[in-house]
Structure 1
Amino acid sequence: MTEQQQSPPARFTGDANPYGGGDPYADHRTADFPFTRYADLADRRLGAAVVAANDEFFAQRENLLLPGPAEFDPEHFGHKGKVMDGWETRRRRGVSADHPWPAADDHDWALVRLGAPGVVRGIVVDTAHFRGNYPQAVSVEGVRLPGSPSPEELLADDVKWTTLVPRTEVGGHAANGFAVDVEQCFTHVRVNQHPDGGIARLRVHGEVVPDPRWLSVLGTFDVVALENGGQVEDASNRFYSSPANTIRPGRSHKMDDGWETRRRRDRGNDWIRYRLVARSEIRAIEIDTAYLKGNAAGWAAVSLRDGAE
């Protein structure tokens, strides 16, 4: 069953022009979505994964959660046709020559386990490079289940899915954004494309809601880590990279995997303001400047504040 919730319509509809050469992102349609300031709960670096899909004939489901924008090589073809950097299903047909069209409710689906449970604030369904082979419409649902449920358990008839994005037309070669106003915690989402097509990337932005039982078992843990519910509330500058990189799991792998600001020409300093998981007794602080060799901070200071304001 599905509990209906309202969500704003997509920003883009219709085909994009066929690729004409040059920068493939030159005509990519996008917008400034305020909810992208929240963490991507479907980030593979958090442990998210596409656990199942009903069809991945042209392009595999795992591409949906790859970090970074989708790539496009106009000359790359395989034995099934054009190789696309996304999730692409085969074309649906009707039941007979007399009725060759898909049924109204025909659709393809993919199940995504979020990297951390959380409240979803917005979703981006990016159809980059899918100019004429994108879905006519998409919908997204969420559910919260304990443990590590199998695809069969997620698809069971008694599982109640909540609508995050109702069936909505989308545009090709576009970042289709949807604000979500559902005050519930979810562990999994199901993205549906109607009736078929290709999606390059899926981003599920929201606030992590950790399991307090797990944190109590850990005892001592990182109280600012994203996977434990820490948040970046604000930062002085986001010119080169997101300050949220500083609290993602693991160590930085390259320079843009950290937080780098534009160079200051005044006498001020750059800063990040974090919200901790909960009121905490801090025992140690680590500041890692890996891969920031000629542009690392010269000095650092940490100040604390206790209270809601």
Structure 2
Amino acid sequence: MSDFTRLPDLAARALGGGVVAANDEFFAEKENLLRPTAPVFQPHTFGHKGQIMDGWETRRRRPEYEAGDHDWAVVRLGAPGVIRGVVVDTAHFTGNYPESCSLDACAAEGYPTPAELEEAEWVPIVPPSPLRGDTEHHFEVEADRRFTHVRLNIHPDGGVARLRVHGNVIPDPRFLTGSAWDLGAVENGGRVVDASDRFYSPPNNVLSPGLPRVMGDGWETRRRRGGGNDWVIVELAAPGHLAQAALDTSYFIGNSPGSARLRGIDAAVADPDDPGAWFDLLPRTRLQRDTRHRFRIDASRPVSHVKLDIYPDGGLARLRLFGEPTPAGLATLGLRWFDLLPAAQAVRVLITECGAPPEWARGVVDRRPLTDPDGLAKALEGSEPSVAARVRDLVATAP
């Protein structure tokens, strides 16, 4: 048997995986299936539904009130790909594990709802197979196709602690074009300049680096009454042309927005206070709960600010705005950086990175700020052409 567990877990939360639906989760939540940590058990820890289990557990199936013949959970792969094997772990389920399991998989475009997934073309990838209690079961998969979702079927009911879906990532090439700059990221200089609501958590959270770990890592508004919608406005690190946007509702399960819209404006040529000056980057689009959404943006017009509208309210974990700065925007960014360096550091930078003579470097630094009418061009007058070219490159200004 090949060791498929050395391959990435396509369903991992860190990659954006999530459990989108289950027919029953009476004793323990379906989201536990994808927890990255090993299952744990604490005896004699009871809730109002019984022993608290670290896994997914359904009620005992009774023909007189249960429809169908088995329970199931649908998992969205964070990284779609070719599945080489799955691990079904019944750790700590000793008297309440399923008799057997099977798995199906499908490929779907976009972000379908659970109801839409019912109409998908599901194909078997693991046939009905017996299970044992408190055991990690490994099943090889031979279906050589790219899948986006898997469905774990348990027969007839019971509990599963963890599900791992190992395979080879097959990225969508439609999302592999354009610049990798996140122009909205706080670590790149993006910032929230206004928001409709800051009740539960600050909107700046959506621009934070890394992946969210809990719901509190994102931005959440209070429940809106009386119409309208919530929104946040982001000033980009530099004006640019956006190519992609990522709207992440991870961990927002019962309180994610129903839909969202992105609009942009270039504050150099239009007034952000004029509602009619904003133009669509992403029209109002349906969102799914606990999902990392990616959208391509056809934005031929540069933007300096982006407005995110969520409908009607709720929470968002992260907002990513990928694009390429305009030459003027990059120049502004570079000049601002150079103007704000301490004098000694600025001189050192010119000497070590641009090969500038020390006396000349001190003269340039003394003429800051270089964004005034004299500007960089005046400061470079009479300098060695090769040095001048390196200085222009340093501050991201076209020669």
Question: Taking structure 2 as the reference length, what is the TM-score of the superposition?
Answer: 0.44
- Where does 1:24-63 land on structure 2 (aligned, <5 Å)? 34-63=3-32
Q: Which residue of 2 aligns with 1:212?
A: 173
- Where does 1:113-152 land on structure 2 (aligned, <5 Å)? 113-152=76-115
Letter in 2 for 1:170: L
Q: How far is the alpha carbon of 1:160 from its aligned partner?
A: 1.2
Q: Which residue of 1 aligns with 2:148?
A: 187
Q: Secondary structure at the match of 1:173?
A: coil
Q: Specify every segment of 5 or more residues in structure 2 that has no aligned partner in the other structure, as ranges.
A: 182-208, 214-399
Q: How far is the alpha carbon of 1:153 from its aligned partner?
A: 0.3
Aligned partners of 2:130 and 2:84: how far apart in 1?
A: 20
Distance 1:134 1:33, change over 3 A: farther
Aligned partners of 1:142 and 1:94: how far apart in 2?
A: 27
CA RMSD of aligned residues (A): 2.4
- Where does 1:37-116 land on structure 2 (aligned, <5 Å)? 37-95=6-64, 106-116=69-79
Q: State the Cα deviation string for residues 146-170 of structure 1 (Å, max 9, x = none).
A: 10011000012xx211111111111
Q: Secondary structure at the match of 1:40?
A: coil
Contact 1:33 1:177 in 2 (8 A): no
Q: Which has the larger radius of gyration?
A: 2
Q: Which residue of 2 aligns with 1:155?
A: 118
Task: Flag as ranges the 4+ runs of structure 1 deviating above 4 A.
Answer: none
Aligned partners of 1:40 and 1:106: how far apart in 2?
A: 29
Q: How far is the alpha carbon of 1:186 from its aligned partner?
A: 0.4
Partner of residue 159 from structure 2, selected from 198, 202, 208: 198
Q: Secondary structure at the match of 1:71?
A: coil
Aligned partners of 2:2 and 2:103: how far apart in 1?
A: 17
- Where does 1:234-245 land on structure 2 (aligned, <5 Å)? none
Q: How far is the alpha carbon of 1:68 from its aligned partner?
A: 1.4
Q: Secondary structure at the match of 1:122?
A: strand
Contact 1:51 1:112 in 2 (8 A): yes
Question: Taking structure 1 as the reference length, what is the TM-score of the superposition?
Answer: 0.57
Work out the percentage of aligned pairs sharing the same amino acid.
Answer: 57
> Higher relative CO (CA 8 A, sep ≥ 6), structure 1 or 2?
1
Q: Specify every segment of 5 or more residues in structure 1 that has no aligned partner in the other structure, as ranges.
A: 1-31, 97-101, 222-248, 254-309
Q: How far is the alpha carbon of 1:219 from its aligned partner?
A: 4.0
- Number of equivalenced pairs: 187
Q: Which residue of 2 aligns with 1:245?
A: none
Q: How far is the alpha carbon of 1:220 from its aligned partner?
A: 4.4
Q: Which residue of 2 aligns with 1:302?
A: none
Q: State the Cα deviation string for residues 265-308 of structure 1 (Å, max 9, x = none).
A: xxxxxxxxxxxxxxxxxxxxxxxxxxxxxxxxxxxxxxxxxxxx
Aligned partners of 2:174 and 2:11: how far apart in 1?
A: 22
Q: How far is the alpha carbon of 1:250 from its aligned partner?
A: 3.9
